[in-house]
Amino acid sequence: MSTGEKTHFGFREVDADAKAGLVGDVFRSVAGRYDLMNDFMSLGVHRLWKRFAASQSGLRPGDSVLDVAAGSGDLSRLFARQVGPGGRVTVTDINAAMLEQGRARLVDAGLAGQVTFALADAENLSFPDASFHCACIAFGLRNVTRKEQALAELCRVLKPGGRLLVLEFSRPMLPLLEKAYDAYSFNVIPRIGRLVAGDEDSYRYLVESIRRHPDQETLRAMMLEAGFDHVRVNNLSGGIVALHVGFRQ
């Protein structure tokens, strides 16, 4: 039964209780071509964004890290190498198809022995308090229905002093860049989705979801409200992407 609460799914307004299912349909559709599409859409730059995020994790050998909405496991793979054989990487996604993509890639990379996998909803994480030295959600927060709840959950599962990495599309800092980015996003990305993934509608949603995501300062304020401290913002590619780093108090 619907609670009557509304939220956005791209530029559409939908029942809040329906959004997770709609987002799930999108990622089930694109899972098989997800990595290929990321390379096409970003011209490979997404790999540099992820490497920078991993470099800001502060992880040491033996540490534990939670990768939420991990998708095909790019950051999980980097984290596994940082924490080493004595560390622990917990890889989660709400979507079984995406989680299986990540599992297959991490097994192929020879990292399965130090990685565990779990279907998990970012809004209701099934892990004890103070479990992890670091948590990350990369290109996933914008798809979460109740972002404030997810941030609070991520804070809860971190050890005191642990850090959260939020890597996400954001607001370009220069007007001319924003104009060019909009033209590329709305006119080119859906066409690439149709040609490469056979799914124009899903990639139109992904473009729209970026525009509905909080900008840099709004997300920083949300993290502070959720219990994080010393939240810093790193703008990448002129603000097209931002990495927010916050520490549990």
Query: Considering Cα of 175, then 176, then 177, then 181, what sign does the dihedral take?
Result: positive
Where along the chain do its domains lie?
6-248
Residues of the chain with pLDDT under 50: none
Q: With b meaning 16 or more CB within 10 Å and e meaning fewer, what string describes 199-229? A: beebbbbbbbbbeebbebeebbebbeebbbe
Under CATH, which architecture does the 6-248 domain have? 3-Layer(aba) Sandwich (3.40)
Confirm if 41 and 192 have CB atoms less than 8 A apart. Answer: yes
- pLDDT the model gives residue 26: 82
Alpha-carbon distance 213 to 206, whole Å?
11
Bridge partners, 67 (sequence order): 91, 136
- pLDDT the model gives residue 86: 95
Q: DSSP 3-state assignment of 221? A: helix
- pLDDT the model gives residue 177: 96
Nearest to 209 by CA among 45, 19, 75, 33: 19
Alpha-carbon distance 163 to 58, whole Å?
8
- pLDDT the model gives residue 149: 98
- pLDDT the model gives residue 3: 63
Residue 142's CB is within 10 A of a number of other CB atoms, namely 20
Confirm if 165 and 245 have CB atoms less than 8 A apart. Answer: yes
Give pTM, 2 decimals.
0.94
How many residues does the structure list for the chain?
A: 249
